[in-house]
Amino acid sequence: MLRWLTLLSCILLTALHGNIVEDVGAAQQASYPPPPPPFPFNVIVILPKRESTYDNFGMTLQKAMPVIDIAVQEVIKAKKLPPGWINLTYWDSRLYEDILLAERHATVGVIQAYCEHRLDAILGFADNYGLATVTKVTAGLNGGIPILTTSGMPSLLNSKKEYPFLTRMQGSYRLLADSMYQLIAYHDEDSVSKSNSSLNYLNLIFFYHDKRRAVNRVIAQDESQETGATSSHCYFSLYAIKRYFTEKSKTFKREWALNTPQFPFDEDLVIERETFKQWLREISLQSNVIILCASPDTVREIMLAAHDLGMATSGEYVFINIDVSTGSHAEQPWIRANDTNNEENEKAKEAYRALKTISLRRSDLDEYKNFELRVKERADQKYNYTNITGKDYEMNNFISAFYDAVLLYAIALNETIQSGLDPRNGHNITSRMWGRTFVGITGNVSIDHNGDRYSDYSLLDLDPVQNRFVEVAYYSGASNQLKTVGQLHWVGGKPPTDLPICGYDKSKCPGYPLHVYLLMGSFLLILVLVGLFIFFWRRYKLEQELAAMSWKIRWEELDGEESQKKNEKKKAKKRKNHNDYLPESDPLLRSTSRSSVNSDKFDEDSLIPIRFRLRSSSSGTTRKISAMIDRKLSIFTRKKSTPPSESQKNGGLTPNSLQKAENGDCSPINEVQFRLPLNDRRVSSPSSEATRKKNSNEEDPENGAKKSLSLKNRKLSFGMVSFKSGSGGSVETIAQNNTQIYTKTAIFKGVVVAIKKLNIDPKKYPRLDLSRAQLMELKKMKDLQHDHITRFTGACIDFPHYCVVTEYCPKGSLEDILENEKIELDKLMKYSLLHDLVKGLFFLHNSEIRSHGRLKSSNCVVDSRFVLKVTDFGLHRLHCLEEINLEEIGEHAYYKKMLWTAPELLRDSNAPPMGTQKGDIYSFAIILHEMMFRKGVFALENEDLSPNEIVQRVRKPVSEDQEPLRPWVSETGEGEGDDALNDTLLSLMVACWSEDPHERPEVSSVRKAVRSLNRDNETSNLVDNLLKRMEQYANNLEGLVEERTQEYLAEKKKVEELLHQLLPPAIADTLIAGRAVQAESYDCVTIYFSDIVGFTSLSSQSTPMQVVTLLNDLYLAFDGVVDNFKVYKVETIGDAYMVVSGLPERRDDHANQIAQMSLSLLHKVKNFVIRHRPHEQLKLRIGMHSGSVVAGVVGSKMPRYCLFGDTVNTSSRMESNGLPLKIHVSQQTYDILMQEAGFKLELRGSVEMKGKGMQTTYWLRGYKDVEIPDFGEEFA
Q: What is the mean pLDDT of residues 1220-1244?
A: 88
CA distance 449 to 470: 33
Q: What is the mean pLDDT of residues 1131-1156?
A: 87
pLDDT number for residue 977: 53
pTM of this prediction? 0.44
In a domain, 595, yes or no: yes
Is 730 marked as a binding-site residue?
yes
pLDDT number for residue 71: 92
SS3 category, 105: helix
Q: What is the mean pLDDT of residues 1097-1124?
A: 87
- Per-residue pLDDT tens for 1178-1212? 888 999 999 999 988 877 777 778 888 889 989 88
In a domain, 770, yes or no: yes
Do 207 and 324 lie in one domain? The reply is: yes
* Residue 303's pLDDT band (cuts 50, 70, 90): very high
* Residue 565's pLDDT band (cuts 50, 70, 90): low
pLDDT number for residue 72: 93
pLDDT number for residue 316: 87
- Per-residue pLDDT tens for 1246-1269? 888 887 888 889 988 888 888 888
Query: Do residues 920 and 1000 touch, judged by C-beta distance below 8 A?
Result: no
| Residue ranges of E strands in 288-378 | 289-293, 318-322, 355-360
pLDDT number for residue 284: 86
Tell me phi and psi for residue 41, to 5 degrees.
Answer: -105, 135
pLDDT number for residue 644: 40
Q: What is the mean pLDDT of residues 809-836?
A: 85
- Per-residue pLDDT tens for 1038-1080? 555 677 788 888 888 888 778 777 778 777 777 777 777 778 8
Better-scored residue on pLDDT, 571 or 543: 543
Is 727 marked as a binding-site residue?
yes
Question: What is the share, in percent, of the chain residues with pLDDT greater than 90?
Answer: 24
Do 695 and 804 lie in one domain? The reply is: yes
Tell me phi and psi for residue 973, to 5 degrees.
Answer: 75, 25
- Per-residue pLDDT tens for 340-385? 568 888 899 999 999 999 988 888 788 888 998 999 999 888 888 8
Is 508 marked as a binding-site residue?
no
pLDDT number for residue 193: 56
Tell me phi and psi for residue 1083, to 5 degrees.
Answer: -70, -40
Burial 382-409 (b: 16+ CB within 10 A, else e): ebebeeebeeebebbbbbbbbbbbbbbb
pLDDT number for residue 662: 36
User: Which residues sit opposite 1223 in a β-bridge?
Assistant: 1182
- Per-residue pLDDT tens for 414-442? 999 999 998 989 899 999 999 999 998 88
- What is the residue range of 1124's domain? 1063-1275
Question: CA dist 485 to 563, 723, 755, Å?
Answer: 80, 64, 60
* Residue 1239's pLDDT band (cuts 50, 70, 90): confident
Q: CATH code at 1149?
A: 3.30.70.1230
- Given the DSSP bridges, would you call strands 468-476 and 457-463 parallel, antiparallel or unpaired? antiparallel
- Per-residue pLDDT tens for 631-678? 444 443 333 333 444 433 333 333 343 333 333 333 333 333 333 333
Query: Do residues 43 and 122 touch, judged by C-beta distance below 8 A?
Result: yes
CA distance 43 to 482: 38
Q: CATH code at 471?
A: 3.40.50.2300
Is 521 marked as a binding-site residue?
no
Is 756 marked as a binding-site residue?
yes
pLDDT number for residue 985: 87
Query: Do residues 820 and 725 touch, judged by C-beta distance below 8 A?
Result: yes
Q: What value does the mean pLDDT of the chain take?
A: 78
CA distance 1214 to 273: 66
Quick check: 43 pLDDT over 90?
A: yes
Quick check: 1015 pLDDT over 80?
A: no
- Per-residue pLDDT tens for 216-270? 887 655 554 444 577 888 888 888 899 989 888 888 888 888 888 999 999 888 9
Is 731 marked as a binding-site residue?
yes
Is 723 marked as a binding-site residue?
yes
- Per-residue pLDDT tens for 604-614? 343 333 333 33
Among 8-12, 42-46, 452-456, 1130-1134, whose mean pLDDT is lowest?
A: 8-12
* Residue 329's pLDDT band (cuts 50, 70, 90): low
Query: Do residues 234 and 252 touch, judged by C-beta distance below 8 A?
Result: no
In a domain, 1043, yes or no: no
CA distance 518 to 510: 16
Do 742 and 868 lie in one domain? The reply is: yes
Quick check: 22 pLDDT over 90?
A: no
In a domain, 711, yes or no: yes
In a domain, 88, yes or no: yes
pLDDT number for residue 190: 65
Among 5-14, 809-818, 865-874, 907-916, whose mean pLDDT is lowest?
A: 5-14
Is 726 marked as a binding-site residue?
yes
Do 770 and 825 lie in one domain? The reply is: yes
Amino acid at 1003: V
Q: What is the mean pLDDT of residues 477-506?
A: 78
pLDDT number for residue 37: 66
Tell me phi and psi for residue 528, to 5 degrees.
Answer: -65, -40
Do 921 and 1027 lie in one domain? The reply is: yes
Do 673 and 737 lie in one domain? The reply is: yes
Final residue belonging to a domain, choices 452, 470, 492: 452
Do 405 and 356 lie in one domain? The reply is: no
Better-scored residue on pLDDT, 575 or 790: 790
Do 860 and 730 lie in one domain? The reply is: yes
Query: Do residues 1145 and 1229 touch, judged by C-beta distance below 8 A?
Result: no
Q: Count the Cβ atoms, other than its own, within 10 Å of residue 653.
A: 23
How buried is 335 (Cβ within 10 angstroms: 0-12 exposed, 13-18 middle, 19+ buried)? middle
Query: Do residues 1045 and 682 touch, judged by C-beta distance below 8 A?
Result: yes
Q: What is the mean pLDDT of residues 1013-1036?
A: 52
- Per-residue pLDDT tens for 617-639? 333 334 444 444 444 444 433 33
Q: What is the mean pLDDT of residues 276-301?
A: 90
Do 474 and 444 lie in one domain? The reply is: no
Question: What is the share, in percent, of the chain residues with pLDDT greater than 70?
Answer: 76
In a domain, 822, yes or no: yes
Do 1151 and 1263 lie in one domain? The reply is: yes
> By C-alpha distance, which of 645, 170, 688 is closest to 453?
170
pLDDT number for residue 909: 87
Q: Count the Cβ atoms, other than its own, within 10 Å of residue 994.
A: 19
pLDDT number for residue 19: 57
In a domain, 269, yes or no: yes
Do 838 and 927 lie in one domain? The reply is: yes
Q: CATH code at 963?
A: 1.10.510.10
Better-scored residue on pLDDT, 962 or 330: 962
Do 249 and 197 lie in one domain? The reply is: yes
> By C-alpha distance, which of 483, 455, 481, 458 is closest to 470?
458
Q: How many domains does the chain have?
A: 4
- Per-residue pLDDT tens for 698-730? 334 344 333 333 333 333 333 333 333 333 444
In a domain, 1117, yes or no: yes
Residue 943, C-beta contacts closer than 8 angstroms, at least 6 positions apart: none
> What's the helix, strand, coil split of the chain in %, to 5?
40, 15, 40
pLDDT number for residue 832: 85
Q: What is the mean pLDDT of residues 438-458?
A: 89
